Chain A
Amino acid sequence: MKSCCNYKTTILFFVGMLFISVPTMAQIPPAGKYNTTNYPEDRKAIEALGMVQDSTHYLNDDYISVGAEGMVYYGKLQEDNSFNKYDLKFKSVTPVEGTAILRIFNGTTAVSNAVLNVVFSSLKGELHVKVIRSTTYIKQLGKWYIVYGQGTQVQTEAELEESMKKALRKH
């Protein structure tokens, strides 16, 4: 119960966002609000990390990711297995202009956020999704690693209303 109470105030705010019915409004940060120029060399290193996907980027697999469907993947292998299982082919990723923000703290931690339009090809046809992707990076012994990534689908107003109706019907 104590654990529950500890989370209450935090959760109160973020889950409450469900009640906002305007997720399609501008998702762009106020100009100049965040420092997006500090640690320029580290920014380059983090960008380079995104160019190649291999197991060395994951700090001895100390990595957790969350798919946009709400599945948690504990380590790269779980993530890869799920991906391969359904043979999805990536077709395009288009960041929504102005939404990509990389913040670096203390020179050893970085958090990126971006809104992305993604298209996959699959056996069932094309999949079109708009997601908000966040990634956290940690620098150890001079090298950057990905330790966490999460996607959340951007719901349209209609989807949000439908989802709320269904949740209400459960009770």
Chain B
Amino acid sequence: MTQLLNFQNFIVVGIFFFYSLNVAKAQVPPAGKYNTINYPEERKAIDILSSKMDSSQFLNDDMIAVGPEGKVSYGFEEWKKGFTDKGAAFKSINPRPGTNILRVYNGDAAVRNMILDVVFATPGGDFSITVVRTETYIKQNGKWYFVAGQGTKLATKEELEGMGKKQ
């Protein structure tokens, strides 16, 4: 019960947005609200980390990833397997201008948020989604690692109205 209550305060502000009909509103942060220039060297190192994907990026596999369909992957192998098993072919990724925000804390932690328009080629045709993506990075012994990532699909108005209705 205590655990339940602990979550309540977080969740109450984190999940209620289903009725928001402002999905199409600008998703760009207010100018100057976030510090996006501190720790410039760390920013470069994190950008390099983002440009490749192999097991060395992960702090002894201490990572958790959440896909936009709500699947949790505990570790790199689970994550990778889910993708390769389905043979998806990536077609394009377009970050929405102004939505990529990298915040660095204490020089050893970082959180990146961004909105991406993604298109896949599939046997049934092109498949496109808009995803809000967040990544958390940790620096240990002088090296940055990816420890958490989560994607949330931007709901259409129709999807929004259907959300939360008991099946």
Binding site for B on A (CB under 8 A): 3-20, 22-23, 27, 29-30, 33-35, 47, 50-53, 61-62, 64-75, 79-80, 82-83, 85-86, 88, 90, 92-95, 99-101, 103, 105-106, 108-109, 111, 113-116, 118, 120, 122, 124, 126-136, 138-140, 146-156, 160, 163-164, 166-168, 170-171
22 contacts between A and B (CB under 8 A): A14-B65, A15-B129, A16-B67, A19-B85, A19-B122, A23-B71, A53-B13, A64-B113, A67-B152, A71-B25, A72-B132, A86-B19, A101-B64, A105-B108, A120-B164, A126-B166, A127-B163, A128-B164, A133-B7, A140-B105, A152-B70, A154-B71
* A81–B22 CA distance with the chains assembled, in angstroms: 12
| B114 closest partner in A (C-beta) | A7
| A134 closest partner in B (C-beta) | B150
| Chain B residues touching A, range | 35 or more
> Contacts A13-B80, A93-B4, A108-B106 given: A132-B150 contact, CB under 8 Å?
yes
> Contacts A70-B23, A136-B136 given: A90-B105 contact, CB under 8 Å?
no
* A20–B114 CA distance with the chains assembled, in angstroms: 23
Interface pair B163/A129, CB less than 8 Å apart: yes
Interface pair A3/B95, CB less than 8 Å apart: yes
* A83–B126 CA distance with the chains assembled, in angstroms: 35
Interface-central residue, A22, A23, A94, by most chain B CB under 10 Å: A23
Q: Which residues in chain B, 19-61, are within 8 Å of chain A measured between CB atoms? A: 19-20, 22-23, 25, 27, 29-30, 33-35, 47, 50-53, 59, 61
What residues on A are CB-neighbors of B34 within 8 Å? 62, 64, 74
* A132–B47 CA distance with the chains assembled, in angstroms: 26
What residues on A are CB-neighbors of B155 within 8 Å? 69-70
